[in-house]
Structure 1
Amino acid sequence: MDAEERRRELLKVVQTRKSVGLDELVEHLGVSRMTVHRDLDLLAARGLLRKQRGGASAESSLLFESNFHYRQEVHQPEKIALAKAAARLIEPGHVIMLDDSTTTLQICEEIKDIENVTVITNSLAVCEKLRARPDTQLVLAGGNYNDTLEAFYGLLCEQTLRKLRADWTFMSAPSVIGTCLYHQDQEVVRIKRAMMEAAGKSVMLLDAAKFRTRALTQFAELTEFDHIFIDRQIDPAAARSLQQAGITFELV
C-alpha cells in the first residue's frame, strides 16, 4: 500500500472497531510504530479520529460526521455510482449547481467530456477539482468560509446564489427520516434551499447510510426533487416505505 491507501485502511479499522491499540495497527498494516504514529497524527489533525495513549478511537458526534475529510473517506464506491447516474442528466451548455456534499463532488469527474458546462458552487473542493479545466465555466459563491466543511456560507453566499439561475441543482443530505431530508447545520440548510430555488430542476443523491442517520433540521421533502438517485443497498423496508409514499426514485 502507498501512504494514502495505508491511511484509508487505518481509518477503516478504527471506524469499524471504534478503539484500536497501537501495536494492533502496527501488526495489521505491517509498518513501523513511528509510521503509525505519523499517520495517526495526520488523521487526528484532519478530525477523522481521536489519537489517544496507546492507540486511537473513532469519533461519533454530529460535528465529527459533518467533517469534510471524514465524509470524503466513507462510502466512496456508492458515491461514485450515484454521481455517474446523475451526470447523465447533464448536457453541453448546461448550467449546474453543486452543493458542498462529497457525493456531488464526484460529479466533477463525470463532466470532463461534456463541453461548455457552467458549474456554480459554494464548495472549495469543487473549485479545486474544476479550476484548471478550460471547458468548464466555474462560479464560486463566496461568503463566510467554514474550514470543517470546506465551503462558504452566510448571507453573502445566499444572496449570490439567489441572483443566479441554473438548469440543475445536484445535492445530497446527511439524513433521511420518512420522506423528509435533514441536516445538522442551519447555515448549510439555508444554502441548500437557495440552490433549490435558483434551479429549474433539483436532483437528490443518497447512499444507503443516509437512511440510518439522524440530524436536527428538516430542509426539504423528497417530493420537491425532480430526480432521486439512491444506493441500491438501501434497506428493503425503507425502499418500500418510499414507494408507498409515492416517491419515485432510481436505485443505483
Structure 2
Amino acid sequence: MNQPLSPSERRREIVNLVMARKSISLEDLVAQLGVSRMTIHRDLDLLEERGLLRKERGGATAESSLLFESNFHYRLQNENAEKRALARAARALVEPGSVIMVDDSTTTLLLAEELETIEFVTVITNSLPVCELLRGRSNVQLILTGGSYNDTLQAFYGLICEQSLGKLRADWAFLSASSVIGLSLYHQDQEVVRMKRALMAAAERKALLLTHSKFKARALNHFGELSEFDRVFIDARLDEPTRQKLRQADIAFELV
C-alpha cells in the first residue's frame, strides 16, 4: 500500500498536474490525491498565495489572467519554437562589444542562449535564469541588478533593482510583454512594470519580442507603447487582421 503524500509533496504534485494540463478540476485533484475537498481547497489557497497557480471556480489553472502572471517554468514550456525564432532574429542586433539589457521574460532567456557565438558582450539583467545560463561564459561580462527576489517569476525587482538600472546605460534593451491591447503593452505586476520602464529608460535603443498569443492575452498594468521600440519582432503566426491594424497605425514590425 502506498504511503500518503506529505503536505509539501501533495502540493508539489498539484503544481505538476496543473502545469501539465493547464487547468484541472477540484474533483480530479481529489480523485488523484485521495484527500478531501477541503484539503485541496486549502492547498490551492496556499499555492495561489505563493503565485504558483491561479485558483478558479471548480479547480485551478496555470493560465495567466489580468492579475496573475503564469509561473516562469510553465511559460517556458509554451511556444518554444516561436520564441526561439524571435530570439534568433533579435540576436542579429547584438554586435561584439555591445552592452545589452535583458528582461525577465522566457523569450529573452532564449536570446541569452544565442549569445554564445558573439566575441564579447556585456549583459545586464534582473533574471536569475539568464544569470545562471551566462555565468562563467568567457565571452560575457554579466551584471545582475539585485533587488527583492520573486520565485514565481524567477527574477529580482523593487527599489534596488530600479536604482541599479538607473545608474547604467546600454546599447540595446530586449523586452517582452504579457499582453498587447491595441497598440499598448501590459503586464500583471506593478513591480515588473517599473523594472521594464527602468530598462527602457537606460537603453539607447529598444527591441520588443512578442509571440502572437500576446495579442489575445490580457493584463492589468500598462507599461509602454509599441511605437516606443526601435525594433518589434513578432512570430509569423500573427493573424492577418492584427497585422493590418498594426500597419494602419504605422507600427514597423518584423514577422519571424
TM-score by length of 1: 0.80
1:205, CA displacement in angstroms? 0.3
Q: Report the counterpart of residue 14 of structure 1 in structure 2.
A: 21
User: Is this contact kept in 2: 1:165–1:199, CA < 8 A?
Assistant: yes
| Structure 1 counterpart SS, 2:196 | helix
Secondary structure class of the residue paired with 1:47: coil
* Residue number in structure 2 paired with 1:38: none
Given that residues 208 and 230 in structure 1 are in contact (C-alpha distance below 8 angstroms), is that contact kept between their aligned partners in structure 2?
yes
Q: Which amino acid aligns with 2:21?
A: V
Structure 2 alignment gaps of length 5 or more: 1-15, 33-46
Aligned residue for 1:202?
206
Contact residue 47 and residue 64 of structure 1 kept, 8 A:
no
Q: Distance in 1 between matches of 2:105 and 2:144?
A: 15
Residue 173 of structure 2 corresponds to residue 169 of structure 1: yes
Give the alignment of 1:95-174 within 5 angstroms.
95-174=99-178
User: 1:5 aligns to what?
Assistant: none
1:30 alignment counterpart: none
Q: CA 1:179–1:62 in structure 2 vs 1: closer, same or farther (change >3 Å)?
A: closer
- Superposed CA RMSD in Å reads 2.8
- 1:155 Cα deviation from its structure 2 partner: 1.0
* Distance in structure 1 (CA, Å) of the matches to 2:51 and 2:78: 14
Residue in 1 aligned with 2:61?
58
Q: Aligned partners of 1:164 and 1:65: how far apart in 2?
A: 28
> Contact between 2:18 and 2:62, CA under 8 Å: does it hold in 1?
no
Q: Distance in 2 between matches of 1:178 and 1:220?
A: 12
User: Structure 1 vs Structure 2: percent identity of aligned residues?
Assistant: 58
Residue type of the alignment partner of 1:191: M
Shift in CA distance, 59/111, structure 1 to aligned 2, threshold 3 Å: closer
**2:90 maps to what in 1?**
86
1:243 equivalent among 212, 230, 247? 247
1:146-170 CA-partner distances (Å, limit 9, x unpaired): 1111111111111110110100000
Deviation at 1:88, TM superposition (A): 0.5
Per the TM alignment, residue 196 of structure 1 is displaced from its structure 2 partner at its CA by 0.6
From the superposition, tell whether residues 74 and 115 of structure 1 become closer, same or farther in structure 2 (CA, over 3 Å): same
CA shift, 1:58, in A, is 3.0
Where in structure 1 are there 5+ consecutive unaligned residues? 1-8, 26-43, 51-55
**Would the aligned equivalents of 2:184 and 2:225 in 1 still touch at CA under 8 Å?**
yes
Q: 1:66 Cα deviation (Å)? A: 3.1
Q: Is the 8 A contact 2:53 2:70 kept in 1?
A: no
Q: 2:52 aligns with which of 28, 47, 54?
A: 47
1:67-124 Cα shifts (integer Å, max 9, x gaps): 2112111111111110000001101000000000000000111110101100000011
Q: Which amino acid aligns with 2:229?
A: F
Q: 1:68 aligns with which of 66, 69, 72?
A: 72
Instruction: Decide whether aligned partners of structure 1 residues 93 and 69 sit closer, same or farther in structure 2, where only a CA change above 3 A counts.
Output: same
What residue in structure 2 maps to residue 193 of structure 1?
197
Q: Return the offset for 1:12.
A: 7.4
Instruction: Write the distance in 2 (CA, Å) between the matches of 1:130 and 1:211.
Output: 30
Change (3 A) 1:63 1:177: closer
2:189 aligned with 1:182: no
TM-score (norm 2): 0.79
Q: Give the secondary structure class of the aligned counterpart of 2:117.
A: coil
